[in-house]
């Protein structure tokens, strides 16, 4: 009898203990699942927020700067954008993203390129306003180049910022050439000549010499222009540059009534490019000066057939 009571006495508590263990186990499973769902199912997002918080608290943008230096411009924009949205007046972030947008625009075209350049300009100019220690000279150059890439409407601003870069001590190997191009397109030929001559001191490129000669020609400095054109005709390896040098040199010969010299140069132009409407047009003008109107009209018609938009040929024929 005592043995039976003894067994009953210990049987029931053992059953209750097992139930308690199961309940606790289920409870911890539910809690663990909730914690896992909260922190680990979106682990990448959580980690990203944690990194952003750290960088903002300690102004630690070394990762952004390193990727910019390595040319990882997409990384700079994707990772720097969220930081800038939290700190929209931080000049360093503005500089980094502005530079990244400028360089990434080189792979774009059309409207997308123009919008990217506009974004680069907006960020860089904002950084300049907010930089208490003054603008880093290199960023004047980048801003000037961004304006230059947007086209002739912005060439005046491009020349201004590129000049500011030089004055501040930053001179890129193409600084003088780009400023010269800006002034040439703006028809400020005195300034163009000055900067093309400085560019030639840095690098004697044929294309720079061609623009220098063209600037001389536009200023009416025919002797200086002819000297540079003659050099290119004899020495350049680029057929396009030789063709342009021959064409412009022939134009000077025509203006100074050296018609045979002009005709010889224009025939060389046609050897390079038989579809040069300019060469046919100017040969027509030479025939006109020589009193051969039939031959002149033939050349003008040829010029117009090659280029229906040749206004000078249209005026001669109609």
CA dist 20 → 9, 25, 32, 34 (Å)? 18, 9, 18, 21
Distance CA 152, CA 196 (A): 18
Q: What is the pLDDT of residue 100?
A: 97
- Give the pLDDT confidence score for residue 127 in this predicted structure: 95
Helix ranges restricted to H, 186-238: 189-202, 206-218, 222-235
Rounded CA gap, 257 and 102, in Å? 49
CA 283 – CA 303 distance, rounded (Å): 10
pLDDT of residue 176: 98
pLDDT along the chain (318 residues), means of 10: 47 56 66 56 53 53 89 93 89 95 95 97 96 89 97 97 96 96 98 98 96 98 97 97 98 97 97 97 97 96 96 94
How is residue 127 annotated by DSSP? H
For every residue of 28-41, DSSP letters joined together read HHHHHHHHHHHHTT
Query: Distance between CA 268 and CA 22 in Å, rounded?
Result: 100
Cβ–Cβ < 8 Å for 218, 188? no
Q: Helix 189-202 to helix 206-218 angle, to the nearest 10 degrees?
A: 160
**Are the beta carbons of 159 and 182 closer than 8 angstroms?**
yes
SS3 of 204, please? Answer: coil
Q: What pLDDT sits at residue 86?
A: 87
Residues 267 and 277: their CA atoms lie apart, in Å, by 12
308: CB partners within 8 A, 6+ apart: none
Q: What is the CA 234 to chain-centroid distance, rounded?
A: 34
Segment 193-198 long-range contacts (CB within 8 Å, at least 24 positions apart):
193/219
């Amino acid at each position: 009898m005592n043995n039976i009571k003894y067994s009953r006495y210990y049987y029931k508590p053992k059953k209750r203990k097992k139930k308690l263990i199961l309940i606790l186990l289920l409870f911890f499973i539910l809690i663990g699942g909730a914690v896992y769902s909260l922190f680990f199912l979106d682990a990448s997002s959580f980690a990203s927020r944690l990194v952003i918080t750290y960088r903002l608290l300690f102004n630690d943008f070394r990762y952004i700067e390193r990727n910019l230096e390595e040319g990882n411009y997409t990384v700079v924009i994707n990772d720097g954008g969220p930081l800038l949205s939290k700190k929209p007046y931080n000049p360093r972030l503005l500089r980094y993203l502005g530079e990244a947008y400028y360089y990434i625009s080189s792979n774009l075209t059309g409207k997308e390129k123009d919008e990217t350049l506009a974004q680069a300009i907006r960020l860089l100019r904002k950084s300049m306003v907010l930089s208490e220690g003054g603008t880093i000279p290199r960023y004047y150059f980048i801003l000037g180049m961004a304006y230059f890439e947007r086209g002739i409407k912005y060439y005046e601003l491009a020349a201004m910022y590129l000049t500011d870069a030089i004055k501040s001590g930053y001179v890129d190997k193409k600084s003088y050439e780009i400023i010269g191009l800006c002034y040439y397109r703006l028809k400020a030929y005195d300034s163009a000549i000055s900067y093309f001559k400085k560019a030639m001191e840095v690098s004697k490129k044929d294309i720079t010499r061609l623009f220098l000669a063209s600037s001389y020609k536009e200023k009416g400095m025919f002797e200086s222009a002819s000297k540079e054109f003659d050099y290119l005709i004899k020495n350049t390896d680029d057929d396009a540059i030789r063709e342009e040098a021959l064409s412009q040199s022939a134009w000077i010969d025509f203006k100074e009534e050296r018609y045979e010299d002009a005709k010889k140069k224009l025939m060389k132009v046609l050897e390079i490019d038989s579809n040069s409407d300019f060469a046919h047009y100017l040969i027509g003008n030479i025939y006109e000066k020589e009193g051969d109107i039939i031959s002149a009209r033939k050349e003008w018609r040829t010029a117009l057939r090659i280029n229906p938009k040749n206004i000078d040929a249209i005026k001669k024929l109609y």
